[in-house]
Amino acid sequence: MKSRSAWVAMILTGIVVVLIYYAYDPAASRWFPRCPFLMLTGLQCPGCGSQRAVHSLLHLDVMSALHYNALLVVSLPAVLFLCYVELMRERRPRLYTSVHRPAVIWTIFTLFMLWWIGRNVILLCK
């Protein structure tokens, strides 16, 4: 288990990141990183729009967040559940092992790849 100071550092870092994404719009700010895959290929990676989606979610604009990166928005409950599973790794080992199975990992990977391909096919068909 991590030390108390490590937990405090992670929580404080998380708060600072949330405050930055709340205060600054990644679409209007030059110091947020741009996607190298998009810049090189003109195609969107699975994470493209995530920064703008997080900014929109923090301002409770769910529709804009869905427009920027629907996979991020839809997968947030699953990500929170996976974080819970990781935190409970030692207390609930059966839950941890039931989630960390090849079938679950391959399902997540497949959804990720389908999103990557699908969003670019839709873009190219417009």
CB 19 within 8 A of CB 31: no
pLDDT confidence tier of residue 2, bands split at 50, 70 and 90: low
Please give the residue that has the higher pLDDT: either 30 or 50. Answer: 50
Q: What is the pLDDT of residues 77-100, one digit of tens each?
A: 999 999 889 888 889 999 999 999
Q: What is the pTM of this model?
A: 0.84
C-alpha–C-alpha distance, residues 26 and 34, integer Å? 9
Query: Which are the contacts of 88, defined by CB distance < 8 A and separation ≥ 6?
Result: 95, 96
Q: What percent of the chain clears pLDDT 90, i.e. is strictly above it? A: 74
HSE-CB of 94 using CA atoms within 13 angstroms: 0
